[in-house]
Amino acid sequence: MDTLALEATLPKKAQPTALITGPPVPAPTKRKPAKKTKKAVVFFEVEILDAKTKDKLCFLDKVRPTSTKLCAACYPQWYPARQSIRLDPKGKSLKDEDVLQHLPVGTTATFYFRDLGAQISWVTVFLTEYAGPLLIYLMFYFRVPFIYPPKYDFTTSKHWVVHLACMCHSFHYVKRLLETLFVHRFSHGTMPLRNIFKNCTYYWGFAAWMAYYINHPLYTPPTYGEQQVKMALIIFLFCQIGNFSIHIALRNLRPPGSKTRKIPYPTKNPFTWIFLLVSCPNYTYELGSWLGFTLMTQCLPVAFFTLVGFIQMTVWAKAKHRSYLKEFRDYPPLRSPILPFVL
């Protein structure tokens, strides 16, 4: 009894181990983590043929399924923008971000290579296209020598609409230059070098043709005078603001350095509400600007330039509209390419 009483008064740590009943509990053993099984990588075999001659250019063995930019393997000495890889000889070029395993090909794939020729950046092209008309028009406006008879050298027109037309024309191309530098985000970095000669011939040639007649010493003002000019000025400025608003809205759809495409929708800016009815309202406003300029100057070369521009912009708008319909299943069905409910 005395021994049991003494043991009961001892602290737990001091109690003898002989009093602990039951078998001894073994110490827990640490389990080794299971090794992760590596997934087998299925490599591709890629054959690249010339799109024109169908000659074999190269054969790539053990190409990873996550590979992109296969064109660099053919001619690494050429920059990627010059090279085009296609699934079909006459098909569209694959994008740089297209992944091999996501393309409609098997593990043995055949692609077609095409040389796009020397390339030039879109920014350089736009700056060259738009700077030319600005300078050329001003040469005719200030009547530099060898354009009109010598007695009119460095003279000014007596019609105020001529000065207004020069301000509107200059404003339009200065706006384009600034948008190229600070607003536009291009999905493609380059275009064929040969296009710059074609585009400059178009813009520079029409600018010279229009400027020659508008600034000619024998130019006559519009039929309905000041009232016609003021109405045309309102149309021109309204469409210029609208065109700028659309460019800002399109810019905000694409984060810097990204090529993502989204459906453009109207914003809080009322000039963008035309997106409800038109896929390419920037072309719609561009057309309106030149219609206003035609009405303002009442000049046949300006009207012809507006007509040619409308035809070209319609082609671009239809192509972009088809691209939207193909890419986005939920694309608004009420939209037209360039003119609401018409075209």
State which residues of the chain have pLDDT below 70: 1-41, 65-81, 96-97, 101, 106, 257
What pLDDT score does 20 carry?
A: 42
What pLDDT score does 261 carry?
A: 82
What pLDDT score does 83 carry?
A: 74
- Report the candidate in 290, 270, 273 with the shortest Cα–Cα distance to residue 281: 273
Quick: pLDDT tens for 174-214.
999 999 999 988 877 788 888 899 999 999 999 999 999 99
329 vs 62, 264, 277, 318, 322, CA distance in Å? 36, 14, 17, 17, 12
What pLDDT score does 78 carry?
A: 63
- Asked if 99 and 85 count as a contact pair (C-beta separation under 8 A), the reply is no
Q: Tell me the C-alpha distance between 127 and 173, whole Å.
A: 10
Class of domain 44-117: alpha beta
What pLDDT score does 76 carry?
A: 59
Helix (H) or strand (E) holding 47: strand 44-50
- Give 86's strand partners: 93, 112
Q: Tell me the C-alpha distance between 134 and 177, whole Å.
A: 10
- Report the candidate in 206, 137, 172, 182 with the shortest Cα–Cα distance to residue 285: 172
User: Domain locations in the chain?
Assistant: 44-117, 120-318
Q: Tell me the C-alpha distance between 320 and 298, whole Å.
A: 32
What pLDDT score does 18 carry?
A: 41
Percent of the chain with pLDDT over 70: 80
Structure token digits, residue 325: 């319909």
What pLDDT score does 154 carry?
A: 93
> Which residues have C-beta within 8 Å of that of residue 68, sequence separation ≥ 6?
96, 97, 98, 99, 100
Quick: pLDDT tens for 59-118.
777 777 666 665 555 555 566 667 777 777 777 777 766 777 677 776 777 888 877 778
